[in-house]
């Protein structure tokens, strides 16, 4: 009898403990079911960065909503900056690694009413990549791969924040 009471008391106490993230898990803002994602605006001097980033967002969001050419709701993005910063050097002061940093502003709005249902004007992400001082083309390929990874990771994180209501 004592074991049953102790077990019931333990279940009661433990069931009251729990952590959860506030927000509406699993729902897009405004219960969006379809979304159009036009090519992001590129305000940087880096060519084609908008294509890579937009493609990553389309690929990520297609798993949650129907991404279509024309929809009531539109995800607009503006790439505000694209920068490379040296982060590590050899003993002879030769750069060995760069950090790619991209910042953008994003918003989802209702095209019929103009109402913004979600916005983040300060989305920033980074990705590091190594430098091959003997082969500039290989370093450029690594930069492109870093941009692709950064874009994919950023799209996933943005979608997760939207789904959690942040």
pLDDT of residue 85: 98
pLDDT of residue 4: 57
DSSP conformation class of 36: B
pLDDT of residue 22: 44
What CATH class is the domain 2-163? alpha beta
| Nearest residue to 61 (alpha-carbon basis) of 88, 92, 29, 22 | 29
pLDDT in tens, the chain (166 residues): 665 555 554 544 444 554 444 444 456 776 789 999 999 999 999 999 999 999 999 999 999 899 999 999 999 999 999 999 999 998 888 899 999 999 999 999 999 999 999 999 999 999 999 999 899 999 999 999 999 999 999 999 999 998 887 6
- CA pair distance 164, 160, nearest whole angstrom: 6
Contact 75, 36 (CB under 8 A): yes
pLDDT of residue 18: 47
The count of other CB atoms within 10 Å of the CB of residue 149 is 15
pLDDT of residue 29: 74
- Give the global pTM: 0.80
- CA pair distance 97, 132, nearest whole angstrom: 9
Domain parsing of the chain, residue ranges = 2-163
| Nearest residue to 36 (alpha-carbon basis) of 7, 3, 10, 62 | 62
Q: What DSSP line would sit under 119-161, residue for residue?
A: EEEEEEEEEEEE--TT-HHHHHHHHHHHHHHHHHHHHHHHHHH
């Amino acid at each position: 009898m004592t074991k049953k009471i102790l077990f019931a008391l333990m279940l009661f106490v433990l069931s009251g403990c729990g952590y959860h993230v506030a927000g509406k898990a699993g729902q897009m803002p405004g219960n969006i079911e379809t979304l159009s994602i036009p090519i992001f605006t590129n305000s940087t001097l880096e060519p084609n960065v908008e294509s890579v980033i937009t493609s990553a967002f389309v690929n990520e969001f297609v798993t949650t909503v129907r991404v279509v050419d024309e929809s009531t709701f539109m995800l607009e993005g503006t790439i505000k900056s694209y920068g490379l910063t040296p982060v590590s050097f050899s003993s002879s002061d030769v750069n060995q690694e760069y950090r790619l940093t991209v910042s953008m502003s994003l918003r989802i709005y209702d095209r019929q009413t103009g109402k913004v249902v979600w916005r983040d004007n300060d989305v920033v992400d980074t990705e590091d990549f190594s430098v091959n001082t003997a082969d500039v083309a290989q370093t450029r390929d690594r930069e492109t791969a870093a941009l692709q990874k950064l874009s994919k990771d950023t799209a996933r994180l943005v979608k997760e924040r939207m789904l959690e209501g942040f």
